[in-house]
Structure 1
Amino acid sequence: MTQNNSQTNQQRSVFSRFLDTVEYLGNMLPHPITLFALFAIAIVIGSGIASYFGVSAQDPRPGGGVIEVVNLLNAEGLQRIVTGLVTNFTGFTPLGTVLVALLGVGIAERSGLLSAMMRGLVMNAPPRLVTLAVVFAGVVSNTASELGYVVLIPLAAMIFHSLGRHPLAGLAAAFAGVSAGYSANIFIGTVDPLLAGITTKAANLLDPNYVVGAEANWYFMFASTFLIALMGTFVTEKIVEPKLGQYDPKLATINLGEQKIEPLTALEKRGLKGALIAFLVLASLLAWTVIPADGILRNPETGLVANSPFLKGIVTFIFITFAIPGYVYGRITAVMRSDRDVIDAMSDSMSTMGMYIVLVFFAAQFVAFFGWTNLGTIFAINGAEFLQNIGLTGPMLFVVFIFMCAFVNLSLGSASAQWAIFAPIFIPMLMLVGYSPEVIQAAYRIGDSVTNLITPMMSYFGLILAVATRYKRDTGIGTMIAMMLPYTVIFLIGWTAFFMLWVFGFDFPVGPMAPTYYPVT
């Protein structure tokens, strides 16, 4: 018995040191904004050095010549930087798409619609399906950004406690859905146009006419929602909750008897019905413009949905389908009485985007400089040749890519920041190997999601830890990460296997009209 305890303590010590190392390395990294500023400067200096040494690559495309590095560290380069600084920022596709989508989400959030939907989904679930409902609600909450962290996770802990279950199990289940299932959803949310815009910019380094839409991964992410819900339920009920054991209220730092879970009021239920009717009307009108062969939002030249105004304007529909039901709900519940309330809701949503806008400014410069210098294209060509030489061009390439993204995400938790760095390198490289940007982006989203649970670098990790300490006062970073680690392991293995089966086993597209392969020649 003593030997077993000694081995357990030794294992915990090794695990604790590993976590301490991750946190230490993460803290050594500059802020993502600083990183992009440094990267942009490095690209300018690197272009001068690479140009001096004549770095180049042979364009593998038919009729392609030698691609050489364009030097930005000279008079012409400085002129281009100075004149392009503003247009790099304003022309960065993810900026406008995300801001427009969030205007609609802001109305739905401020009116109380999104919060009421989550409460109704979780609190009305049968006791046997509570865990499944919590994880599922966590995944769906990603359409409203931080709402799942702020509302659902504390609510899930309260619900589990009220049912006589361990509150930290409820917290873990909600955290798994919100954070590890970050990229999955049954709806197209704000993260989809954000990543698609970055992917388009990266694909244009190789193919100037290539466009990746916000719907590019919708099929795969829709199906992944149910996979994450099932895996999260399994881990919670079979691994995490049994390990936590019986809850002792004496460990809490609050009086648990004072906690109250407010059910939906009659007015809120009436608001939800009104919002649902508004949504169904909008969906019917949208279907009328797309489904008929002569639909006005189909491609006017081909009559198809591909490259149609509907797909190109998907962000507009995200805005409308959040804004109008949100307003209807707010009007019924008397939260929104005038146009001023709607304007305030949209203004508040924009006020939270200051950090993102600053990040985009420097990310846009980095992406633009990377494209101007041809470094991205040269790196992609040489990288693709290396992958071909070692024979890593088949499906296993994506397993390596997903695991690499998951590892990097431990220290760089921002989805947009990491993808803005990765996309200009890996999108052209894997396109040259023969895979489409849509499939590459879908693989990235798996790796970017699953390790959010175990990195202190995740922006809401401190908030989740604070909620946990209310129920168990000695909960620390190591305890929290150890509790969430089974989700990361199961999600990483299960979601990667699902991706491989979806794309290469059944040859399903990851989204509407999204090809799996890119024609290299």
Structure 2
Amino acid sequence: MSTTTEKEISQNPEETKGLFNKFLSVVEKAGNALPHPATLFAGLALLVVVLSGITAGLGLEVTNPGTGEVIRPVNLMTVEGLHRILTGMVTNFTGFAPLGVVLVAMLGIGIAEGSGLIGALIRLMVLSAPKRMMTFMIVFAGVISNTASEVGYVLLVPLAAIIFLGMKRHPIAGLAAAFAGVSGGYSANLLLGTIDPLLAGISQESANIIHPVAAGLYTVNPASNYFFMFASTFLIALAGTWVTEKIVIPRLGVYEGDEQVESVEPLNDKERRGLKIAGLVVLALLAIIVAGIAPEGGFLRNPDPEMDTMQSILKSPLMKGIVSFIFLLAAGAGIAYGFAAKTYKNDSDVMDGMANSMKTLGSYIVLVFFAAQFVAYFKWTNLGFIFAINGAQMLQALDPGVIPLMIAFILLTCMINMVMGSASAKWTLMAPVFIPMFMQYGVSPELTQLVYRIGDSVTNIISPMMSYFALIVAFIQRYDKKASIGTMIATMLPYSLVFLAVWTILLVIWMLAGWPIGPDAPLDYVMPS
């Protein structure tokens, strides 16, 4: 049964609506008023074309502080500009860095998810945990589950509620713990997921707006945030456990609703055999990787003899082709599990798993088409370069310091996330502006991307624009028929605030220590001369 406060909120929403709920109502209306993200990027691409004509007509120019070169806008509102737009439309789309890496990674994840491997791993992880560790394991499993697409939302969140109910604890507390891990811990993981190459590709495109051509292509490794992500996994799991035990469970009290305890079936023999075979395949693939990267002159190292050991690993085909290895590991494990557990009977089932993962990307592919045009136009016109230099000069005049600047960027991302849910859509919009600007200020693209990911994650669980928000409300209403959006926000807000605090503190400590945030991912950027 819900607490008195929750009942009052659900029964008399207008009477009990405070300033925060009023703010959320405004945010929800504003978010609903926004067009589809693809339409938004189409409009922004058109806006860039118009701005290129206006700024070129005004004679706007800046001086590159590194080279002394005068940079002027390139006008796309000309015959030459029209020709460039028409001839570049296809290559803008097909050459957009995030597109290929996401498609390849999702093909492998689709095989693993379609076989039932990911679902079996989550059940095994949660059900094998001691009762006193159950809350931690649920939050931890939620963080790990975001390696795949939606399995955490549709499997772990309702499963956690059932587990808590079976332990005679409030099911909404279990649901909240899982949701906090899956969505609030979106930027923490022990494994690389589909979001890593996606964001890295957008960051790379944005970094090359201002990175000198003579210095070669600036590359952002999909694993560039991995060290910080790895450490964050345990921090977020502990923080989520503390919030659940110390704030959420006491607030919800004892559950006295009508929902009956459901049994969560343990893994059957076929599933256990499937996990064993999948584990052996993963170990074999990892052994091949280790054999190729560990010895001096290994076949997966960079063969350049002038590189030291660390550089030959960081700039190796392994790191550059990390998405290919994600595909091979996920596909190999998924196929092994599927045939061993009898969830896959032939090659057609495997291909169906891959095809089903592509079906979920239909909207993403449409979005990418327009986003790719926007990013390309922004780069062609030099507007990104001009805005970056002007913005950096303003920052240098204010001189807030890098750490306050990064904290401010976290808060800005938190606010934008309340009205725009898609992580990739927001980053496609923000990266071309903020990455070049912060590069001019001496901040690496990898650090800017990491700071964005923190801000994007912590408000996911309270944002009405998050794609699974309505689904989570429906799960809550199963256990409290009178629950509303206010009930969900009141339950999840403590997680959001605590995650924001602990993640920001970790970031500050990390930056003060000067630790790299991932392989070949420094904190600073120095413009090549």
Mapped pair 1:156 → 2:163: no
Mapped pair 1:294 → 2:302: no
Q: Which runs of 5+ in 1 are unaligned?
A: none
For the 8 Å contact 1:363–1:420, the answer to whether it is kept is yes
Q: 1:279 aligns with which of 279, 282, 290?
A: 282
Letter in 1 for 2:190: I
Match of 1:509 in 2: 516
1:261 match: secondary structure: coil
What CA distance in whole angstroms lies between the structure 2 residues aligned with 1:307 and 1:428?
A: 23
What CA distance in whole angstroms lies between the structure 2 residues aligned with 1:305 and 1:197?
A: 21
Q: Which runs of 5+ in 2 are unaligned?
A: 1-7
Shift of 1:21: 1.1
Mapped pair 1:34 → 2:42: no
Shift of 1:11: 7.5
Q: 1:493 aligns with which of 481, 484, 501?
A: 501
Mapped pair 1:13 → 2:21: no
Q: Within 5 Å, which residues of 2 pair with 1:229-244?
A: 229-244=237-252
Q: 1:383 aligns with which of 388, 391, 395?
A: 391
Mapped pair 1:48 → 2:56: no
What CA distance in whole angstroms lies between the structure 2 residues aligned with 1:233 and 1:164?
A: 17
Please give the per-residue CA displacement for 1:26-53, whole angstroms capped at 9, x wherever unaligned: 1111111111011001000111111110
Match of 1:133 in 2: 137
Q: Which aligned runs of 4 or more in structure 1 are off by greater than 6 angstroms?
A: 8-11
Match of 1:113 in 2: 117
Match of 2:100 in 1: 96
For the 8 Å contact 2:270–2:342, the answer to whether it is kept is no
What CA distance in whole angstroms lies between the structure 1 residues aligned with 2:406 and 2:37?
A: 26
2:62 match: secondary structure: strand
Shift of 1:438: 0.8
What CA distance in whole angstroms lies between the structure 2 residues aligned with 1:490 and 1:413?
A: 20
Q: 2:442 aligns with which of 434, 440, 444?
A: 434
1:138 match: secondary structure: helix
Shift of 1:340: 1.1
Shift of 1:9: 9.7
What CA distance in whole angstroms lies between the structure 2 residues aligned with 1:15 and 1:154?
A: 27
For the 8 Å contact 1:298–1:310, the answer to whether it is kept is yes
Match of 1:447 in 2: 455
Letter in 2 for 1:360: V
Letter in 2 for 1:393: G
Match of 1:245 in 2: 253
Q: 2:475 aligns with which of 462, 467, 490?
A: 467
Return the TM-score normalized by structure 1. 0.96
Letter in 2 for 1:184: A
Q: 2:417 aligns with which of 395, 398, 409?
A: 409
* More off after superposition, 21-30 vs 315-324: 21-30
Shift of 1:10: 8.0
Percent of aligned pairs with the same amino acid: 54
RMSD (CA atoms):
1.5
Match of 1:79 in 2: 83
Shift of 1:448: 0.7
Mapped pair 1:57 → 2:65: no
What CA distance in whole angstroms lies between the structure 1 residues aligned with 2:351 and 2:189?
A: 28
For the 8 Å contact 1:393–1:433, the answer to whether it is kept is no
Shift of 1:172: 0.3
Shift of 1:423: 0.5
Please give the per-residue CA displacement for 1:326-382, whole angstroms capped at 9, x wherever unaligned: 111111111112111111111111111100000000000000000000000100000
Letter in 2 for 1:517: D
Shift of 1:212: 0.2
Shift of 1:513: 1.7
Please give the per-residue CA displacement for 1:114-167, whole angstroms capped at 9, x wherever unaligned: 000000101111000100000000000011111100000000000000000000
Q: 1:217 aligns with which of 225, 228, 237?
A: 225
Match of 2:379 in 1: 371
Shift of 1:278: 1.0
Letter in 2 for 1:381: I
Match of 1:170 in 2: 174
What CA distance in whole angstroms lies between the structure 1 residues aligned with 2:15 and 2:473?
A: 25
What CA distance in whole angstroms lies between the structure 2 residues aligned with 1:238 and 1:9?
A: 29
Q: 1:66 aligns with which of 58, 63, 70?
A: 70
What CA distance in whole angstroms lies between the structure 1 residues aligned with 2:449 and 2:232?
A: 14
Q: Within 5 Å, which residues of 2 pair with 1:243-392?
A: 243-250=251-258, 255-257=259-261, 259-301=262-304, 302=307, 304-392=312-400
Return the TM-score normalized by structure 2. 0.94
Match of 2:3 in 1: none
Letter in 2 for 1:269: R
Mapped pair 1:182 → 2:186: yes
* Paired residue total: 509
For the 8 Å contact 1:402–1:446, the answer to whether it is kept is yes
2:71 match: secondary structure: strand
Shift of 1:510: 0.5
For the 8 Å contact 1:19–1:478, the answer to whether it is kept is no
